[in-house]
Amino acid sequence: MMVRVSATVENVSVIGTGYLGATHAACMAELGFNVVGVDIDPEKITSLSAGDLPFHEPGLPELIRKHVTGGKLRFTTNLDEVGAWADVHFIAVGTPQVRGGTGADMTYVDTATTDLARAITKDALIVGKSTVPVGTAARLADLIAETKHPEVNLSLAWNPEFLREGFAVEDTLTPDRLVIGTTNTHDEDTLRSVYAEALDRDTPWISTDYQTAELVKVAANAFLATKISFINAFAEVTETVGGDITTLADAIGHDTRIGRKFLNAGVGFGGGCLPKDIRALQTRVAELGLDHSMRFLDEVDQINLRRRKKTVALAFDTLDQDVIGKKIAVLGITFKPLSDDVRDSPGLDVAARLFNAGADVAIYDPQGNHNAAKRYPRITYNDTLNEAVTGAELVILTTEWDEFKTLTPEDLNHKVTTRRIIDARNVLNPHHWENAGWTFTQLGRQSPHD
Ligand SMILES: NC(=O)c1ccc[n+]([C@@H]2O[C@H](COP(=O)([O-])OP(=O)(O)OC[C@H]3O[C@@H](n4cnc5c(N)ncnc54)[C@H](O)[C@@H]3O)[C@@H](O)[C@H]2O)c1
């Protein structure tokens, strides 16, 4: 990779070293900058400083180790260190759903920004990367102006992040677009020098105001969530009238105006972004008196949540309405493959509902067991697929890890007690399973024998 550092920007800090921040910090080091990642969680900082990633993201541990060892990347809990040192500070702290509400909890962003502004003792640019309600950047700019040292020149840009967990390194090093909200050309030029390598590859550069930059991110997530719920709404119809949702998705997906991506019917979306972002967007527009504009997102959310209940109902149907004491193997409880993130995960929700109904739930996930066990410690977590399915009366596939997509009936025939499977991601071939004597169920697809 070509290393190109601008004459002006050499030192970069990243505040918040979770999924987004740790990735951004490592990738900035890969681009040639000196980088310090800051977090309030001392355990996270200790493990990152030792070159260990406290979560699963393919390719990221190698990148962190490379730059920690090479001296380009450090981690600290001390904001003052970076305040006197960095030219550009990226804010990458969390914006989770507020407890007991639907809006975004802005306390982390607000605290990180004011603490940072107080700590900065040399002229610098602060760049927000977290996903925030529209209007946040303007509010933070005022907060920074009130808090900063009078002799220091500080300004704020907004640069939303579009990385996908599982592909975070690739998406950060080779983004499909860069969106920059600024109030002056100097700040834009600073960010052009930070992202010079992507610009050399003609990556689309969208230079705009704060509001548009903030809205681009939530609009993208609202669109993706809507697309998934759109196909899942049709799955509800095919479940009633007959038909095959996968064939329907393939057929409409051939229309290039529609496209096939994000049209896989199943147990729906989850994770640390889509669900909370569509809720926060509705809440924000309601505050602005525009609740009607985003009302459809409530239905998008409801359709999505109904898919989880539907999967649980199918489990009850498959087990003749009696799940108590029955062993159910749940395969996949991360919200998507290639991640250990179980935030708002459909698979984990299904597992927890069945557990609460009295089933003997056995979870296996290649990466997510540890995080899920923190949330639901009483459920059984298995280290291997083999253990989870042995003696099961029902198997439910809830996350489409490759390991599960390639499963064959022969892999499970002699391990389970009863040959019943619900493929809640529509990734298995019904004929193979039915021919091997399995009761096979998918969402939105009539069984070939119905
Ligand atoms: N995870 C993704 O795929 C992704 C993609 C795009 C955008 N985003 C957005 O990025 C933001 C961060 O998401 P995430 O998934 O990385 O969250 P995360 O919970 O994994 O990480 C947030 C980190 O911020 C730290 N933190 C909180 N307050 C702090 C403070 N005052 N100073 C320093 N560190 C602090 C926390 O300890 C934590 O390590 C959110 O707004 C999210 O919506 C996430």
Q: 380 CB contacts (<8 Å, ≥6 apart)?
A: 360, 361, 362, 363
Q: Is the CB of 111 under 6 A from ligand 1?
A: yes
Distance (Å) from CA 109 to ligand 1 centroid: 9
**Cα–Cα dist 234/266, whole Å:** 11
* Mean residue pLDDT across the chain: 96
* Predicted pLDDT at 8: 82
Burial of 302: CB neighbours in 10 Å, binned 0-12, 13-18, 19+: exposed
DSSP letter at 445 equals B
Tell which atom from ligand 1 comes closest to the C-alpha of 95: 41
Ligand 1 atom 44 nearest Cα: 20
The percentage of residues in the chain with a pLDDT greater than 70, rounded to a whole number, is 98
From 46, 48, 93, mutation site for ligand 1 pocket: most ligand atoms within 8 A of C-beta:
93
From 20, 56, 178, 340, mutation site for ligand 1 pocket: most ligand atoms within 8 A of C-beta:
20
Q: Comparing C-alpha atoms, which of 17, 2, 68, 27 is closest to residue 169?
A: 27
**Amino acid code (one letter) for 423:** D
Distance (Å) from CA 23 to ligand 1 centroid: 11
pLDDT in tens, 393-421: 999 999 999 999 999 999 999 999 999 99
* Predicted pLDDT at 447: 53
- For 11-207, give the CATH class: alpha beta
Task: Return binding residues.
Answer: 39, 44, 95, 131, 162-165, 217, 262-266, 270, 276, 336, 343
Which residues are the active-site residues? 273
Task: List % helix, strand, coil for the chain (3-state, nearest 5).
Answer: 45, 15, 40
Tell which atom from ligand 1 comes closest to the C-alpha of 273: 43
CB 27 within 8 A of CB 64: no
pLDDT in tens, 247-299: 999 999 999 999 999 999 999 999 999 999 999 999 999 999 999 999 999 99
Q: Which residues of the chain have pLDDT under 50?
A: 1-7, 448-450
Q: 38 CB contacts (<8 Å, ≥6 apart)?
A: 13, 14, 15, 16, 17, 75, 76, 77, 78, 79, 81, 82
Q: Is the CB of 38 under 6 A from ligand 1?
A: yes
Burial of 320: CB neighbours in 10 Å, binned 0-12, 13-18, 19+: exposed
pTM: 0.95
Domain assignments of the chain as residue spans, ordered by start: 11-207, 306-442
CB 159 within 8 A of CB 179: yes
14 three-class SS: strand
Q: Comparing C-alpha atoms, which of 48, 55, 54, 1 is closest to residue 25?
A: 48
Q: 165 CB contacts (<8 Å, ≥6 apart)?
A: 19, 57, 271, 336, 338, 339, 341
Question: What CATH superfamily is the domain 306-442?
Answer: NAD(P)-binding Rossmann-like Domain (3.40.50.720)
Ligand 1 atom 7 nearest Cα: 161
One fold for 11-207 and 306-442: yes
Find the helix or strand (DSSP H, E) in which 146 lies.
helix 136-147
Q: Is the CB of 107 under 6 A from ligand 1?
A: no
Q: Is the CB of 385 under 6 A from ligand 1?
A: no
Q: Is the CB of 112 under 6 A from ligand 1?
A: yes
Provide φ and ψ at 226, rounded to 5°. -65, -40
Residue with tokens 């309405």: 321
Tokens linked to 378: 């009483």
DSSP letter at 434 equals H
Distance (Å) from CA 168 to ligand 1 centroid: 14
Q: 39 CB contacts (<8 Å, ≥6 apart)?
A: 15, 16, 17, 18, 21, 45, 48, 75, 77
Q: Is the CB of 18 under 6 A from ligand 1?
A: yes
**Cα–Cα dist 32/149, whole Å:** 29
Q: 295 CB contacts (<8 Å, ≥6 apart)?
A: 282
CB 398 within 8 A of CB 332: yes
* Predicted pLDDT at 450: 45
> What does DSSP say about strands 205-208 and 327-331: parallel, antiparallel, or unpaired?
unpaired
Integer CA distances (angstroms), 248 to 47, 235, 238, 310, 435, in order: 47, 9, 10, 20, 24
